[in-house]
Amino acid sequence: MKTNFKFGEVHNACDIVKYNSEKVDFLQIFETECGGVCVLAMKEGQKLDTHTAPFEVMVTVCEGEIEFTMIDKAHTIKAGEFLLMGADVAHSVEAKKDSKIMLIKVK
């Protein structure tokens, strides 16, 4: 497993990424050949253009609100809510409010 975090230490997932008006802040918590966990911070109005991922993904909004478009259907996801997505599904993201998002990726 690849990580910069120590096992047995407590971390606040929302505090490890910061809002940046220039770009989406992205931090990998850990990664293996079978998936991983990362967090993103997006300022209101920032977007991730349509792309795919080779993993099944659980998208959890920790703070804020996003519009997650998958297979041409837009889903509004608010703090405390999550959405599941299959591998290799085209999707895009837009922050409707300043938002922090945790992605759990599994192969």
Q: How many CB atoms lie within 10 A of CB 41?
A: 24
Report pLDDT digits (tens) over 20-35: 999 999 999 999 999 9
pLDDT at residue 24 in the model: 97
What's the one-letter identity of residue 72? D
> pTM (2 decimals)?
0.93
**What pLDDT was estimated at residue 25?**
97
Nearest residue to 40 (alpha-carbon basis) of 22, 54, 57, 23: 23
| Cα 86 to Cα 53: distance, rounded to the nearest angstrom | 9
Per-residue CA distances from 97 to 8, 14, 39, 53 (Å): 33, 15, 16, 24
